[in-house]
Amino acid sequence: GENVEQHPSTLSVQEGDSAVIKCTYSDSASNYFPWYKQELGKGPQLIIDIRSNVGEKKDQRIAVTLNKTAKHFSLHITETQPEDSAVYFCAASIGSNAGNMLTFGGGTRLMVKP
Amino acid sequence: EADIYQTPRYLVIGTGKKITLECSQTMGHDKMYWYQQDPGMELHLIHYSYGVNSTEKGDLSSESTVSRIRTEHFPLTLESARPSHTSQYLCASSEWREEQFFGPGTRLTVL
């Protein structure tokens, strides 16, 4: 089955700096890659996703890049703010007709210091 | 904000008790999931359902059971809780090939 590795497990940055979280996946058939943000006491919430037919996607201060050849994808957060502090999860899915079964990475705890 | 609800939010019970964690969604999603989240953050899929009367076991073996009698409702039951069941339980739902919407979670502590 699919295996998703996520690094780093913790990341501390100064407010205004950029943060980068990287994930690798094992199944070359995976074609859907979402990123979730989990704040304290809440469930994960989708913040951005990318499908295998594109290499990069941006939404304001966040962007995701995908390298299908190397089987890795990354989350980039620019101009970090204290409210970006949370746990971030990457995931991968084959997205077959059987539905969207996600395999999650181990999570990254991001701390943005004011 | 996604309309998926979990009750209770927090539960502290003694060993051997039977418990049911409730999960409901009002989005009409066919697929629903239960994840167990350990203190180290990692999410483990323990059960999922494709629709009414469909239940499947996930990647992580669990002593819990689930049922799906109505589209909107996906309860998880532990017949006899043990301290090893202490964890955060997250419910989610999705349309086919779309994002998963998560509930706020139930933090279970078994003494």
pLDDT in tens, B12-56: 999 999 999 999 999 999 999 999 998 878 899 999 999 999 999
Nearest to B59 by CA among A73, A67, A91, A49: A91
Residue B59, pLDDT score: 82
Residue B25, pLDDT score: 97
CB A21 within 8 Å of CB A39: no
**Residue A16 CB: number of other CB atoms within 10 A?**
11
Whether residues B94 and A107 touch (CB distance < 8 A) is answered with: no
How many inter-chain contacts (A to B, CB under 8 Å) are there? 57
Whether residues B103 and A43 touch (CB distance < 8 A) is answered with: yes
What percentage of residues in chain A have a pLDDT greater than 70? 95
Residue type, A44: P
Average pLDDT value for chain B: 92
**Residue A43 CB: number of other CB atoms within 10 A?**
22
- Is the pLDDT assigned to residue A39 strictly greater than 80? yes
* SS3 category, A112: strand
Contacting residues of B for A104, CB less than 8 Å apart: 42-43
Choose between A95 and B16: higher pLDDT: B16
Look up tokens 């589209």; give the residue: B71
Nearest to A102 by CA among B88, B53, B37, B92: B92
- Is the pLDDT assigned to residue B1 strictly greater than 60? no
A28–B contact, CB cutoff 8 A = no
Nearest-CA distance from B63 to chain A in Å?
Answer: 21
Render pLDDT for A67-83 as a digit per residue (tens, 0 to 9).
999 999 999 999 999 99
Lowest mean pLDDT among A52-66, A75-89, B3-17, B95-109: B95-109
A54–B contact, CB cutoff 8 A = no
List the single residue in A42, A95, A107 with the smallest CB-CB distance to B42.
A107
Residue B38, pLDDT score: 87
- Is the pLDDT assigned to residue A58 strictly greater than 90? yes
Whether residues A100 and B102 touch (CB distance < 8 A) is answered with: no
Residue A96, pLDDT score: 58
Nearest-CA distance from B33 to chain A in Å?
Answer: 9
Average confidence (pLDDT) over B61-78: 94
Whether residues A43 and B90 touch (CB distance < 8 A) is answered with: yes
